[in-house]
Structure 1
Amino acid sequence: MKNNLTGNTYKMETEFLKVRLFFESDNSLVFTILDGDLTAIGHTEKVETTIAEIRPNVYMVAWKEISGATVTHVEDHENGIVYSNATLPNGGFYTMKGTIRPFRD
């Protein structure tokens, strides 16, 4: 079942990262690191996602990266807020809150 994220691009900004998220399909996204300290700027990766709609315009999105990092977002598109948890291969754990908005070049 198609979700409202599919085909759209968003910019996520937290204190640690700025990321472009392109929801390519119902179960994949392409992310690009725009700025931040956790991953190399410019790093782009296509990942398989699990997306659950919590309520209209609020989604839980989870994926595992090639590096072994795991990421879970709660994306509130109605209010432009994202909550993100990331576990890095080195054992680092980050809990972040920030904004999520449609991406504009």
Structure 2
Amino acid sequence: MQKIQVVGRKFKADFGGEFVFQLDFHSDTQMTYAPILANGFGEAETVKTTMVEIRPNVYMVYWKEKSNTTVVHVEDFENGVVHTNITVNQDVFLNLSGTLTAIE
């Protein structure tokens, strides 16, 4: 199995419907996410990330946004699958799954 290069590349995380984001991995500790389709959910932001390799080409990536929203992804670059868990505030906890494709 060949290791997929993540750092220095951009990926599209498509959670279906109106939730599609671009993930731009600057390093293993910094990423910019930008909504492609988000229905007002979030604005582009560069965040400090932690990337934990679960197995080759599968990472748990997590960060905290300026709004105090916390996000945890499981990103399977080999199979093109992404799962997200987002805590927007004390009352909203989102769990979504979608596709993950390289765009650069």
Question: What TM-score does the superposition give when structure 2 sets the normalisation length?
Answer: 0.88
Which residue identity lines up with residue 9 of structure 1 in the other structure?
K
% same residue = 38
> Contact (CA 8 Å) 1:67, 1:89: kept in 2 or not?
no
Partner SS, residue 89 of structure 2: coil
Q: Which residue pairs with 2:37 in the alignment?
A: 35
Q: Which residue pairs with 2:11 in the alignment?
A: 10
State how far apart, in whole Å, the 1-side matches of 2:68 and 2:87 are. 9
Mark the runs of 5 or more structure 1 residues left unpaired by the alignment. none
Following superposition, the deviation at residue 37 of structure 1 comes to: 3.4
Runs of 4+ in 1 over 6 A off after TM superposition: none
Which residue identity lines up with residue 6 of structure 1 in the other structure?
V
Which residue identity lines up with residue 10 of structure 1 in the other structure?
F
Cα deviation 1:70-103 (Å, max 9, x = unaligned): 0000001111000100000363110000000002
Mark the runs of 5 or more structure 2 residues left unpaired by the alignment. none
Question: What TM-score does the superposition give when structure 1 sets the normalisation length?
Answer: 0.87
